[in-house]
Amino acid sequence: MKVVTDGILRGKTLELDKDTGLPDGLHVRVTLETEALDIEQKRLKALALCGAWSADESLGGVFEKIAAERHETVARPVNF
């Protein structure tokens, strides 16, 4: 039996747009095909990601560690 429906992938969970009529627990094979995004859709997705971590307070320590390590690192010699 072949059922075709659209859905949204969230991690390892696939949320389908409509009921398939198939019983729970049935072993199925899934073939994923994505729709190609046009340039405007890509731009909107990029804008949605910009600043996504700006309010994440847990990252402060990470950036402090990176800054400290930057000052400890000795520059490597460059031979021209």
Q: Looking at the whole model, is its pTM more than 0.75?
A: no
Average pLDDT over residues 6-33: 89
**C-alpha to C-alpha distance for 36 and 46, rounded to whole angstroms:** 15
Is pLDDT larger for residue 17 or for residue 55? 17
Place of tokens 């969230």: 10
Which SS3 state, helix, strand or coil, does residue 15 take? strand
Q: Read off the pLDDT of residues 33-77 as tens digits, 9 standing for 90 and up.
A: 888 999 999 999 999 888 888 888 888 888 889 888 888 878 788
Instruction: Tell me what pLDDT residue 56 has.
Output: 86
Place of tokens 């095909």: 33
Instruction: Tell me what pLDDT residue 43 has.
Output: 93
Instruction: Tell me what pLDDT residue 42 has.
Output: 93
Q: Which helix (H) or strand (E) holds 64?
A: helix 60-72
